[in-house]
Amino acid sequence: MTPAAAPEEDKAGARRERARERSRLWRAANPEKAREATRRYRAANLEAERERERESARQRRAANPEANRVAAREGMRRHREANPGAAGRWREANREAERERGRLYREANPGANREAQRRWYEAHPEAKRGANLQRRARLAGVPHEPWTLVAILERDNWTCQLADCLCPDGRSIDPSAGHLTRWEGTADHIIPISKCGPDTPENLQAAHRACNSAKGDR
């Protein structure tokens, strides 16, 4: 501060002080008008006031992102504790919106979607087989009914139904045979889907994997 500026600042400060005093006196003498003036001022400046609050909140968050994340997690935790089941109810009530949100996300993140699908199918091998067969059946224009491999094997007494079974130990299927090994149990389409056989339990039979592969599309 230069010494020459000091008297000017003193004068400005004195003017502001006198204006505040006049305002205080006027408000004391006119309380109704004063309240009305305050109300009008706030209404006119509401959006600006909110924006100032938002901006200062943004600055606080930017200055300390980790504290903000901790506070957000803590807030969510308290909310979940105070409202058990709220998240499920919210999703239930917003099912359509959630579906749309998922669709937009997948559209915007095709890579993430494929990766998530791959992980899900890895964890649900039965579902993948079902989805593949349903798709093949739809493409071939043949009927499809949901079925499970275990139900087919149980129904056929864990016995390979192919007349020219290749297994040296006989037609019995070992439930403990490893996944994708030659003698594990599989379900064979009696009439292949490619030859318009339906993808339904009636058109399925238990078979060793190797026997099923050897049969191929016959």
Contact positions vs Zn ion (CB under 5 A): 160, 165, 167, 208, 211
Question: How far apart are CB 200 and Zn ion at their closest, in Å?
Answer: 22
Nearer to Zn ion, 165 or 193 (CB): 165
Question: How far apart are CB 97 and Zn ion at their closest, in Å?
Answer: 51
Nearer to Zn ion, 187 or 211 (CB): 211
Question: How far apart are CB 215 and Zn ion at their closest, in Å?
Answer: 9
Nearer to Zn ion, 137 or 160 (CB): 160
Question: How far apart are CB 164 and Zn ion at their closest, in Å?
Answer: 8
Spatial contact of 14 and 21, defined as CB atoms under 8 Å apart: no
Nearer to Zn ion, 34 or 156 (CB): 156
Residue type, 203: N
Distance CA 38, CA 59 (A): 28
Residue of closest CB approach to Zn ion? 160
> What percent of the chain is helix, strand and coil (3-state, nearest 5)?
70, 5, 25
b/e per residue 98-121 (b: at least 16 CB within 10 A): eeeeeeeeeeeeeeeeeeeeeeee
